[in-house]
Amino acid sequence: MTSAHSKLYSDDVSLVVVVVDTNPFFWAGAALPFADFLSHVLHFVNSLLLLSNLNHVVIIAAGVSSCAYVFDSGNAGASGAADVAETLGKASRKMEEFIKQDARETASNGTVADGGAASLFSGALSLALCYIQRIFRSGTRHPQPRILCLQGSPDGPEQYVAVMNSIFSAQRSMVPIDTCIVGTQDSAFLQQASYITGGVYMKPQELSGLFQYLAAVFATDLHSRTFLRLPKTLGVDFRASCFCHKKTIDMGYVCSVCLSIFCKYHKKCSTCGIAYAEHFP
Amino acid sequence: MDYRPSRMAVVAKCAEAFIREFFDQNPLSHVGLVTIKDGISHRLTEIGGSPESQINALMGKLECSGDSSLQNALELVNGYLNQIPSYGHKEVLFLYSALNTCDPGDIMETIEKCKKSKVRCSVIGLAAEIFICKHLCEETGGSYTVALDESHFKELLLEHAPPPPAIAEYAAANLIKMGFPQRGAEDLISICSCHKKIKSGAEGYICPRCKVNVCELPTECRTCGLTLVSSPHLARSYHHLFPVAPFDEVTFKLGQKGGQNCFGCQQSLINTGGQSNIHVRCPKCNHHFCFDCDIYIHESLHNCPGCESQRSSSR
């Protein structure tokens, strides 16, 4: 997919919406402590703001029970972009508040119990896209938007439809979704997201050098990416999972009415309840 | 007043925009192009599932000459559409600029034949309203519209992109066997079955049944006939199954959930410009949104950010 070339955008001004995974179940057992991770990310945000004084960065946190905006460089005030310490301080404080609030909500909500819980990634992605639409409405000369996802928790299969809807909306608005996996397992949702929208998917091998990976791969604006050799993902898994067992299949049966996927032939569709006309062997 | 630079050029350009929008809204559909020239109907492109081949044909040189024959076009199209399986919805869209039709036989019989094969015919006229087109559309259940100018023509054409409501008796439900191919291994060199060219395995997909290399999805495997799709193609239609509830209009109250900013884009909900302070609220999660986010959510995103940002017991 080609990048978003358009005469309406100023070439190297970007709007980066960073979606940060703050799932406490994941960070409790992660190799890199959350405080170090956050300092890598905030230094990266500062370097983005220093690249051009028109650059705009927004941070959205995806927790286990809620999502919220944590930082917006547009609100920083007249000298905000130049005052590095102030930016860092504000963002850290807001992030701490969000994590405490999220923990309170998780504790009061009895449904989240196990350690394999996914963060509310679909919610954060939807918020990011709404913000980007607001920037599109702000006039003809606006920055080129992109989304950077820092994900560590596993994918929640219940979020599949919502994540796919967000991916298609991003594709239509020509917003690339970049991914940097800070956990141990690859994320099938984010691989598909980056492939479909034309973004970069990367899983760094050394998490202690995270800032270097972020600055080398994800800091460039969309126009300059055409001149760079960025990491390419091979082998995006596009196979579907069947609705009955949730296992990945490479050949299956699809209901012609509701498009639900089954691994074996059934006489009736379990999603839409329709009975099938002809019988195939 | 008339179409510039020429009617053919305008129609080709609008048809290209229509094809892109059509495949966006109907990812598993097929489109074919047919031209009517000198009273004879020609097939311009084969019915295919990907927009590129159709658009390439439209960008080529298209010439107009001679009379147009509605009956010949209908006979040709009927022949192609008869091969479509019963669960598919068959439709013809005419972009008709002529003021008459010169037919070799009885066009009423052909219209009856189309009606029996359940082909829905619609016409968009560029000149004036013609009785025979109106009759054709009425008999087969299609829509007949006449464009007033170029932008109206584009609008009428794009109205045909979203799928029409299907009548249950017309399309029998079936379980269709489909394959979900993976990308081939990087070091595998094979000949792709569509263009008969040598391709590295990483650029194509491997059919799970007969292991042949195909270039793009969705397509039908040329060797074994299995329909090949990828899960994003099916997922594109899931938003019809799980639509977002319409938002309620509310006025601003102090102390409401989320404060005075729209939950989606953080824009202030209080208008100081003298407009009344109404905005919208999702009935399920009670988050407040501005009107622009409301339009975006319902027309393009199909997810409520508020509902997605909450872990409800139904998850």
Q: Is the dihedral of CA A32, A38, A42, A44 positive or negative?
A: positive
B235 lies in the same domain as B118: no
| pLDDT of res. A79 | 52
Plot region of A189 (φ>0 → left; ψ -120 to 50 → alpha; else → beta)? alpha
On whether residue B163 sits in a domain, the answer given is yes
With H, G, I as helix, E, B as strand and everything else as coil, classify residue B95: strand
Judging contacts by C-beta atoms under 8 Å, the chain B residues touching residue A256 are 87, 171, 173-176
Say which CATH number the domain at B293 has. 3.30.40.10
* Residue A265 in domain: yes
Per the domain annotation, does B2 fall within a domain?
Answer: no
Query: How far apart are the CA of B294 and the nearest CA of chain A, in angstroms?
Result: 10
Residue ranges of chain B whose pLDDT lies below 50? 313-315
User: Do A218 and A200 touch, CB atoms closer than 8 A?
Assistant: yes
Does residue B225 lie in a domain region? yes
The reported pLDDT for the residue numbered A3 is: 41
- A 95-124 residues with CB below 8 A of B? 106, 109, 111-112, 120, 122-124
DSSP per residue, A108-128:
H-TT--STTPPP-HHHHHHHH
Find the CB nearest B265 among A68, A130, A274.
A130
The CATH number of the domain where A82 resides is what? 3.40.50.410
Average pLDDT of chain A is 84
Residues B228 and B81 in one domain: no
Judge: A251–B202 Cβ closer than 8 Å, yes or no: no
What are φ and ψ of residue B113, in 5° steps?
A: -60, -45
Structural domain of A271: 239-280
Q: Same domain for B232 and B201?
A: yes
Q: CA A120, CA B310: separation in Å to the nearest integer?
A: 8
Residues A64 and A159 both lie in one domain = yes
What is the C-alpha to C-alpha distance for residues B172 and B174, in angstroms, rounded to an integer? 6
In contact, A70 and A20? CB cutoff 8 Å:
yes
Q: Which residue of A has its CA nearest to B302?
A: A165
Cα–Cα distance measured from residue B287 to residue B303, given in angstroms and rounded to the nearest whole number: 13
Residues spanned by the domain of B144 = 7-170
Residue A239: per-residue pLDDT: 76
Q: Cβ distance A195 to A231 under 8 Å? A: no
Residue that is written with structure tokens 């599949």 in the block: A160
Do residue B160 and residue B121 come from a single domain? yes
| A207 and A251 housed in the same domain | no
Assigned token pair, A98:
């969000």
Residues 61-100 of A with CB under 8 A from B: 64-69, 72
Give the count of Cβ contacts less than 8 A between chain A and B.
185
| Count of structural domains within chain A | 2
The pLDDT of residue B121 is 93
A190: in domain: yes
Which chain A residues touch B282 with a CB distance below 8 Å? Answer: none
**Whether B187 and B158 share a structural domain:** no
Per-residue pLDDT of A6-27, as tens digits, reads 445 567 789 999 999 999 888 9
Domain boundary among B191, B209, B239: B239
Total domains in the fold of chain B: 3
Whether residues A108 and A178 share a domain: the answer is yes
Q: pTM here?
A: 0.81
| Whether residue A122 has pLDDT greater than 90 | yes
Q: Is A246 a residue whose pLDDT tops 80?
A: no
- Give the pLDDT band (50/70/90) at residue A161: confident
Tens-digit pLDDT profile for residues A193-214: 998 899 999 999 989 999 999 9
Measure the CA–CA gap between B169 and B176, rounded to whole angstroms: 18
Give me the CATH number covering residue B94. 3.40.50.410
Interface test with A, best of B206, B231, B239 (most A CBs within 10 A): B231
Do B130 and B41 sit in the same domain of this protein?
yes
Specify whether the CB–CB gap between A146 and A161 falls below 8 A: no
